[in-house]
Amino acid sequence: MRLHTRFKADGGQLISAVERYFAVKSEFPWVTGGTAVNDDPFGFITAQDPTVGVCGTSCTATDGNLLEALELKSEFLNRDFIKTADVATEYMYVGKSDGASSSVYACYVPMSKSNRDKACEDDKVYTLGAADGIRTSVTCAAGDDWNVAIPWVVCIPE
Q: In the prediction, which pLDDT does 85 show?
A: 67
Count of domains observed in the chain: 1
Query: How far is C-alpha 18 from the chain's CA centre?
Result: 11
The C-alpha atoms of residue 146 and residue 90 are separated, in whole angstroms, by 13
Q: Is the CA virtual torsion 84, 112, 153, 149 positive or negative?
A: positive
Number of neighbours of residue 130 by Cβ within 10 angstroms: 13
What pLDDT, in 10s, does the model give residues 96-109? 999 888 999 999 98
Q: In the prediction, which pLDDT does 97 show?
A: 94
- For residue 37, what are the domain limits? 3-156
The residue count for the chain: 158
pLDDT at 36 over 60: yes
The C-alpha atoms of residue 108 and residue 151 are separated, in whole angstroms, by 9
What pLDDT, in 10s, does the model give residues 57-113? 887 778 999 999 999 998 888 888 888 767 777 889 999 999 888 999 999 988 888
Residues 18 and 29 sit within 8 Å (Cβ to Cβ): yes
pTM confidence score: 0.90
